[in-house]
Amino acid sequence: MTKQAKSIEWLDNKLYLLDQTRLPVEVEVEEQTSVEQVWDSIKQLKVRGAPAIGVAGAYGLVVAMRSHADADRATFLAELKTQAAYLDSSRPTAVNLSWALKRAVSAVESSSGTDGRTLFTALTETAEAIHREDIQLCKQIGENGASLITEGMGVLTHCNAGRLATSEYGTATAPMYLAHERGVNFSVYSDESRPLLQGARLTAWELQQAGIDVYTITDNMAAFVMQQGLIDMVIVGTDRVAANGDVANKIGTMGVAILARHFGIPFYVASPFSTIDLATPTGDDIVIEERGEDEVTHFGLRRTAPEGIKVRNPAFDVTPNEFVTAIITDRGIIEPPYDVNLKKTFG
Amino acid sequence: MTKQAKSIEWLDNKLYLLDQTRLPVEVEVEEQTSVEQVWDSIKQLKVRGAPAIGVAGAYGLVVAMRSHADADRATFLAELKTQAAYLDSSRPTAVNLSWALKRAVSAVESSSGTDGRTLFTALTETAEAIHREDIQLCKQIGENGASLITEGMGVLTHCNAGRLATSEYGTATAPMYLAHERGVNFSVYSDESRPLLQGARLTAWELQQAGIDVYTITDNMAAFVMQQGLIDMVIVGTDRVAANGDVANKIGTMGVAILARHFGIPFYVASPFSTIDLATPTGDDIVIEERGEDEVTHFGLRRTAPEGIKVRNPAFDVTPNEFVTAIITDRGIIEPPYDVNLKKTFG
């Protein structure tokens, strides 16, 4: 594999997925030779992150239809829909997956091609377009945010809103990758992000692979590195931005935002347009998923808390807009007042 | 074992130690039948926490001298010093251990007894006195702080300043145990306290054993439970209190203090007189120990961060006195201004 392993690679009409379940201990890139294998890779979270799943699904459809290129149009379309429904069943809740599959199917349907080969070409081009657009979206976030990162800075991030969750660049990490490509030297402090450790397992790994100077810290060390003057800015991703600029993200984000405010450190949120939800008025309207107890009482398979102990395990928290310095989007950097400015750009 | 397993028990002239290395999964109380076994239990951290080690060491000397009760005074004293030096070698750095052993030896030396049996009785009485005084000290912290905990409160604590680190009651936990004994109903939120998880493994366990309502949360959930209005006060222990009231404690404490201030929650520190160090002017004079990388890159034996990743691993942080609502000591509750009031009580 290349040092810069990508979550998804499409080379010589072959699909390669990085098995993220084995990171950071093993780096395994698997060629996907059958649609069943792609279904399994999505199901088993070998590929994860909503944008990445969408792209993998579209290519999965290409893999599925390869052997049908000799079919006539009717047969090809019928089989295409069957395979799309099959891939869609791998993770019913991942909206990007259904979206990408629907788009691929309708692109082929609207193609005038009368033979399987022409339709297969249309399918392949659509998958490549979905892939390209995802890369462009993240790259644009990076272009817009990269100038915020200047020589010698310390940047703190939480969880993984990185390249591994997308096809390339990521969201929170996009400004870092772009600044690094431009030769800016800076250090990243990556919270390990209990309970599931996406920061330690994924963010630290992908930044290290890219040659960016990165430190892993436990979540409760964030205040310490800020107090030591090591942090000049915070950049995090988001799962949903409300119309008033309240930001839902991985549990622990709000604490980092409050600490950043105390130490006078700017707190940035990186978000693609698709994550800004003007239909949600405020953070109070966002339901916080409470996950299983084992994530907190165990570490991997090892029990670390007593039998029968009660736990809380909110997967996310909501950072009030007052703590958000600006939101870095693919359509530019949005500053307060968010209720006005988000509507202006995304309404 | 009783539900209320203690770190150290002295029953019918027998010494019992709770093996803390096996908590919370296994609860094993081991009778200590030889001085070699006591040495080993201290060395292997089966008994841990400076006060507890001192008490265990004194009783270890009793176990060592049992078979010498028939000796004459000179022989008994010679053997006593040999055994004290041996026990002292189990953990050279634990100051309470040497202190307790020295105190036991000189108590026996100053006894007028001419035969081994009388001297052995003096030794036993001294060990019991050291044990009793440690319990009293913690209990007094509890008496002074218990009234702060009222019906229905939520109390957040960090790391383990509990019964397991002392002979009974602990420091930060002493007000909780006393309030519980008085029939006050309250809930405790115990940060798991990465990297070594003393909160999840020890604090949650000992409070659960005592029948106190306790929740384990990951460190990065503290802000969330505060925002939800679940926390009415924070109580933590300390490794050193400077003359100006700056407080050194387990890494993560300062972040909790800043969050508590933001949410308007009082932040208390529980400390025995012996931990208040007027010779240290401010927190800036406290050196923070940076520990090994494996604690952060691994979880138990399982690697969770990439090979070769850089880490920071400060074992402690210093909470500036401005965030400390009051210090609960065995000599009363000390309020700001600390530079004046700490000297008044402990100078």
pLDDT digits (tens, 9 = 90+) for A81-91: 999 999 999 98
Which of the residues in chain A have pLDDT under 70?
Answer: 1-4, 93-94
Among the partner residues A23, A220, A305, nearest to B194 by beta-carbon distance: A220
Q: Catalytic residue positions of A?
A: 239
- CB pairs < 8 Å spanning A and B: 180
- Sequence-ordered list of residues with C-beta below 8 angstroms from that of A90, at least 6 positions apart, any chain: A38, A39, A40, A42, A43, A57, A97
Locate B105 and state its tokens: 């030896």
Locate B35 and state its tokens: 């001085």
Flag if B218 and A296 touch (Cβ within 8 Å): yes
Residue that has been written with the tokens 């004459």 in this structure: B72
Answer whether the bond into residue B24 is a cis peptide, omega within 30°: yes
Give the predicted TM-score (pTM) of the model.
Answer: 0.90
Cα distances from A190 to residues A8, A136, A150, A217, in angstroms, run 23, 25, 18, 6
Among the partner residues B259, B307, B317, nearest to A255 by beta-carbon distance: B259
Distance CA A200, CA A211 (A): 16
- Sequence-ordered list of residues with C-beta below 8 angstroms from that of A146, at least 6 positions apart, any chain: A174, A175, A178, A179, A182, A184
Flag if B189 and A312 touch (Cβ within 8 Å): yes
pLDDT for residue B3 is more than 70: no
Supply the pLDDT for residue A2: 36
Query: What is the crossing angle of helices A95-109 and A116-146, to 10°?
Result: 140
Name the least confident of A113-117, A228-232, B89-93, B175-179: B89-93
Do residues B6 and B135 make contact, with C-beta atoms less than 8 angstroms apart?
no
Minimal-distance CA residue of chain A relative to B207: A309
Flag if B305 and A222 touch (Cβ within 8 Å): no
Number of CB atoms found within 10 A of residue B235's CB: 25
pLDDT for residue B95 is more than 90: no
Supply the pLDDT for residue B93: 67
Burial class (CB in 10 A: 0-12, 13-18, 19+), A347: exposed
Flag if B302 and A303 touch (Cβ within 8 Å): no
Flag if B305 and A216 touch (Cβ within 8 Å): yes
**Angle in degrees, CA A138, A143, A144, rounded to 5:** 100
B239 is catalytic: yes
Distance CA B77, CA B69 (A): 11
User: Quick one: how far is CA A95 from the chain centroid?
Assistant: 13
* CATH code for the structural domain at B8-140: 1.20.120.420
Distance CA B347, CA B340 (A): 10
| Identity of the residue numbered B257 | A
Supply the pLDDT for residue A159: 95
C-alpha count within 13 angstroms, C-beta hemisphere, residue B256:
39
| Residue of B220, B236, B253 to mutate, testing the A interface (most A Cβ within 10 Å of its Cβ) | B220
Choosing from B191, B219, B239, B330, which is the catalytic residue? Answer: B239
pLDDT for residue B300 is more than 90: no
Region B202-211 average pLDDT? 95
| Identity of the residue numbered A228 | Q
Minimal-distance CA residue of chain B relative to A250: B220
Supply the pLDDT for residue A95: 74
| Residue of B221, B227, B295, B307 to mutate, testing the A interface (most A Cβ within 10 Å of its Cβ) | B221
Supply the pLDDT for residue A4: 66
Domains in chain B: boundaries: 8-140, 142-346
Strand A310-311 with B213-217, pairing:
parallel
Burial class (CB in 10 A: 0-12, 13-18, 19+), B322: exposed
Give A142-346's CATH code, choosing from 2.60.40.420, 3.40.50.10470, 3.10.129.10, 1.10.287.810. Answer: 3.40.50.10470
Supply the pLDDT for residue A1: 32
- Sequence-ordered list of residues with C-beta below 8 angstroms from that of B260, at least 6 positions apart, any chain: B156, B226, B231, B234, B266, B267, B323
| Identity of the residue numbered B246 | D
Round the average pLDDT of chain B to a whole number and report it: 94
Local confidence band at B215 (pLDDT 50, 70, 90 cut-offs): very high
Do residues A151 and A182 make contact, with C-beta atoms less than 8 angstroms apart?
no
Minimal-distance CA residue of chain B relative to A306: B24
Distance of residue B131 Cα from the nearest chain A Cα, in angstroms:
28
Local confidence band at B58 (pLDDT 50, 70, 90 cut-offs): very high
